[in-house]
Amino acid sequence: MDGKSKVVLGIVFLLLILVFLCLALGQDLVPDFKAIRYLEGKGYTSVRILYILAEGHGCSPKDRYRFAFDAIPPDGKPRVEGKVCGDGEEFWYEEK
């Protein structure tokens, strides 16, 4: 293998790693996007997912997704914090 072939092979290898990482990490963000869409559907704007809640902190044990969020509520008052939980299909939320 000459030098040019090694460079091309290295570039192809790096591209494959990049594609794999994008696919793997993209699936990890699906619950975040679902929670944001759910809250926006309830009238919240500027929704930010802050962190993942530990199991047993305000959500049902059957909930697969547990997030703390902050957002501007539907009435336009100052930003509020809350939690949004879901089992994959159904979500619920609670403001602090």
pLDDT at residue 50 in the model: 92
Residue 2 lies in a domain: no
Domain for residue 58, yes or no? yes
Domain-located, residue 15: no
pLDDT grade for 54, boundaries at 50, 70 and 90: confident
Question: Which residue range is the domain that position 78 belongs to?
Answer: 29-95
Q: Is 53 within a domain?
A: yes
64/25: higher pLDDT? 64
For residue 22, being part of any structural domain is answered with no
Per-residue pLDDT, 28: 52
Query: Do the beta carbons of residue 93 and residue 38 sit within 8 Å?
Result: yes
- Contacts of 96 by beta carbon, 8 Å cutoff, 6+ apart: 80, 81, 82, 83
pLDDT of residue 29: 54
In a domain, 7, yes or no: no
Total of domains in the chain: 1
